Amino acid sequence: MKDGFIDRFLVVISTALMLTAIYTIFFYAPTEIMMGIVQKIFYFHLPMAFMAFLSYFVAFVCGVLYLIKKDIKWDIIGSASVEIGVVFTTLVLITGSLWARPIWNTWWTWDPRLTTSFILWLIYVAYLILRASVEQVDRRATFCAVMAIVGFIDVPIVFLSARLWRTIHPVVIKSRSIDIEPAMLTTLAISMAAFLLFWLTLLRIRSRVDFTELRIRNLEKIRRGGM
């Protein structure tokens, strides 16, 4: 009962904050002079990229904890986080392409940021394929933990790619400042907060589904053993 209330509360609050973010994006933030209305995609694109990074970081931490403690709960949280991360990474690639078409006059270019982001997507899609391919629970959890740890290496590479190599990808967050106007920065902050709460809500609900399935399987094993 308590968990259900918390879930509903998070859904309501995250929805309200997301609607607030959408309002500020389209009615409060000024339109960028050079890029025009298409620049507003970044208020979705950038937060989703950071939520993807956060998802893979959580999976990395859960992978380490599972290998140390062999507690299946870390496997469940880690896999849920990867699923969410793959969804956000997919949306990042799509929104990036939508922005690139009018600005770069192409849907895709093998820019270092785009290339490393696509590799990141492939790594964690492979994680999900691996997870679906291994039936034995402990082996699956171990393999996935290792893959989550190794795959996370690409996250800082993606983040630093626009700084390490010559690239046409814009860098919004620079080393000492954020190079946007105050109204745009406020809008970006609200959007970041909205997506963070949305991410937390998704992770909690998705993890609870897997925990419930695990309890059901354990009860079925007990029932069969009693028979």
Position 178 scores a pLDDT of: 56
Per-residue pLDDT band for 25 (boundaries 50, 70, 90) equals very high
190 near 47, Cβ under 8 Å?
A: no
Alpha-carbon radius of gyration of the chain: 20
Per-residue pLDDT tens over the stretch 85-101: 999 999 999 999 998 88
Mean pLDDT of 129-145: 93
Angle at alpha carbon of residue 64, lines to 63 and 65, rounded to 5°: 90
How does residue 168 score in pLDDT terms, banded at 50, 70 and 90?
low
Mean pLDDT of 8-19: 92
Instruction: Tell me what the pLDDT averaged over the chain comes to.
Output: 88
pLDDT in the model for residue 122: 97
Residue with tokens 């793959």: 86
pLDDT tens by residue, 69-85:
999 999 999 999 999 99
- For residue 163, the model assigns a pLDDT of 73
If we measure between CA atoms, which residue out of 61, 60, 159 comes closest to residue 117? 159
Rounded mean pLDDT, 12-26: 95
Domain ranges of the chain: 35-172+179-211
pTM check: above 0.75: yes
Provide the residue type at 105 as one letter.
N
In this structure, of 78-87, 128-137, 190-199, the range with the lowest mean pLDDT score is: 128-137
Give 40-53 pLDDT, tens digit per residue: 999 999 999 999 99
pLDDT class for 182, splitting at 50, 70, 90?
confident
State mean pLDDT over 146-165.
Answer: 88
User: Residue 172's pLDDT band (boundaries 50, 70, 90)?
Assistant: low
Q: What angle do CA 165, 166, 170 make, to 5 degrees?
A: 100
